[in-house]
């Protein structure tokens, strides 16, 4: 599964390039509880086709009824419109919003296909981009962004920052890699698998994953990890893992980690310090053993544990040390029999 924003914008581009009327809806404000966060987008074609989401479904149904042929309504033209849902308790109940929930949307009618194509091209090329909508007439300009930013809106402009896909590089094919790749894909990551060993790679069957046969350190260099990337080593083989992990630690990757026991993780650190001139400080970002402690034993459960940790780091959640595998196991061992 690709990044949802890119998927919505790509489909909207295709509709507009084909001459189909369509609108883009953006969540610009929420009050109380809301099913979707500010910045969420969806696209609606004139025939009622929808991609993306701004709620749990009821608001989408209302937009289809009001702005498509399904509801026997003509899609409006002209400047963007601002609409609110859930202002009253009855409306909140009708639209499936939580108690007290209200949200505001900006609806853009027939966004320019050329600008949409440029935006999609930028995002596919890994470029963080601000999309600036002039609310008086719906004109759109694009600017390169240098850091992620929250959506901003005033009486004149709507500014929404779109980032490229989150990416994951897995080193080492196998059952655990297959489960982790599937979970990452469904979480919106573009996944690349690297394994130069044909005997491991030959059984790989998961679609929508890019395969690399390079040596892992070369694969990391080609992958060019950025702040929306993570690198996970799964081979248990120092000849494959170590150099790749060191290369990843020199990048901006938000997560770098390797599978293995506490003993293996400690041996890896000692090896890197002794043979690769590393220090405890230079290895501070290296995670291992990876995952959250959930008592996992099987490959799918371990994949859940690792994916949960990756998502927590991605989302900026500070996890208590007790959830780390090493810390949890040390505490269990320290408990009296």
Query: What confidence tens digit (pLDDT) does each residue in 212-266 have?
Result: 999 999 999 999 998 889 999 999 999 999 999 999 999 999 999 999 999 999 9
The overall average pLDDT reported for the chain is 89
Same domain, 175 and 277: yes
Same domain, 146 and 210: no
> Stretch 20-35: mean pLDDT, rounded?
86
> Stretch 3-16: mean pLDDT, rounded?
92
Q: What integer pLDDT is reported at residue 301 of this predicted model?
A: 96
Same domain, 129 and 11: yes
> Stretch 32-58: mean pLDDT, rounded?
86
**Among 207, 24, 232, 2, residue whose Cα is nearest residue 123:** 2
Same domain, 133 and 37: yes
Same domain, 174 and 34: no
Q: What integer pLDDT is reported at residue 321 of this predicted model?
A: 74
User: Which stretches within the chain are classed as H helix?
Assistant: 4-17, 58-67, 89-94, 113-124, 175-186, 198-201, 216-223, 238-249, 262-275, 299-314, 325-334
Same domain, 66 and 122: yes
> Stretch 100-121: mean pLDDT, rounded?
92
Under a CB-based contact definition with an 8 Å cutoff, are residues 84 and 103 in contact?
yes
Task: Please say which residue of 162, 187, 211 terminates a domain.
Answer: 162
Q: What CATH number did the domain enclosing 320 receive?
A: 3.40.50.720
- Asked which of 54-63, 167-176, 252-261, 280-289 is least confident by mean pLDDT, the reply is 54-63
Same domain, 56 and 155: yes
Same domain, 173 and 295: yes
pTM: 0.70
Residues ≥6 apart with Cβ < 8 Å to 195:
171, 172, 173, 201, 204, 211, 212, 213, 235
Q: What integer pLDDT is reported at residue 127 of this predicted model?
A: 86
pLDDT 10s digits, 274-319: 999 999 999 999 999 999 998 888 999 999 999 999 999 998 888 8
Same domain, 186 and 142: no
Structural domain for 262, as ranges: 166-334
* Confidence band of 158 (pLDDT split at 50, 70, 90): very high
Q: What integer pLDDT is reported at residue 319 of this predicted model?
A: 81
The whole-angstrom separation of Cα 38 and Cα 24 is: 14
Bridge partners of 151? none
Residue 168's H or E segment, with its range, is strand 166-171
Same domain, 157 and 170: no
Same domain, 269 and 190: yes
Task: Please say which residue of 162, 186, 213 terminates a domain.
Answer: 162
* Confidence band of 90 (pLDDT split at 50, 70, 90): low
* Neighbour tally for 89: CB within 10 Å: 11
Give the number of domains in the chain.
2
Task: Please say which residue of 94, 128, 162 terminates a domain.
Answer: 162
Q: What integer pLDDT is reported at residue 86 of this predicted model?
A: 77
Chain-centre distance for alpha carbon 18: 28
């Amino acid at each position: 599964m690709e990044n949802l924003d890119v998927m919505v914008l790509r489909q909207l581009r295709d509709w507009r390039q084909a001459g189909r009327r369509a609108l883009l809806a953006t969540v610009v404000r929420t009050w109380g509880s809301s099913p979707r966060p500010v910045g969420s987008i969806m696209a609606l074609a004139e025939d009622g086709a929808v991609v993306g989401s701004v709620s749990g479904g009821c608001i989408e149904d209302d937009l289809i009824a009001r702005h498509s042929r399904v509801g026997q309504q003509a899609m409006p033209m002209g400047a963007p419109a601002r609409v609110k849902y859930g202002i009253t308790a009855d409306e909140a109940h009708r639209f499936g919003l939580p108690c007290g929930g209200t949200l505001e949307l900006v609806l853009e009618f027939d966004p320019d296909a050329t600008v949409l194509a440029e935006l999609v091209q930028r995002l596919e090329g890994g470029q963080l981009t601000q999309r600036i909508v002039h609310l008086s007439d719906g004109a759109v300009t694009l600017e390169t962004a240098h850091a992620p930013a929250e959506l901003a809106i005033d009486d004149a402009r709507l500014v929404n920052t779109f980032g490229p896909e989150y990416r994951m590089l897995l080193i080492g094919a196998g059952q655990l890699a297959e489960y982790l790749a599937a979970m990452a894909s469904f979480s919106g990551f573009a996944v690349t698998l690297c394994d130069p060993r044909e005997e491991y790679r030959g059984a790989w069957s998961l679609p929508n994953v890019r395969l690399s046969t390079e040596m892992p350190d070369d694969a990391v260099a080609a992958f060019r990890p950025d702040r929306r990337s993570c690198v996970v080593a799964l081979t248990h083989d120092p000849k494959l893992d170590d150099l790749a992990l060191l290369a990843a630690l020199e990048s901006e990757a938000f997560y770098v980690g390797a599978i293995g026991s506490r003993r293996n993780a400690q041996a890896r650190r000692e090896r890197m310090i002794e043979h690769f001139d590393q220090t405890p400080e230079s290895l501070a970002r290296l995670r291992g053993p990876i995952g959250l402690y959930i008592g996992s034993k099987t490959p799918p459960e371990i994949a859940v544990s690792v994916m949960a940790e990756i998502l927590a780091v991605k989302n900026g959640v500070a996890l208590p040390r007790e959830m780390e595998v090493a810390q949890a196991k040390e505490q269990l061992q320290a408990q009296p029999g």
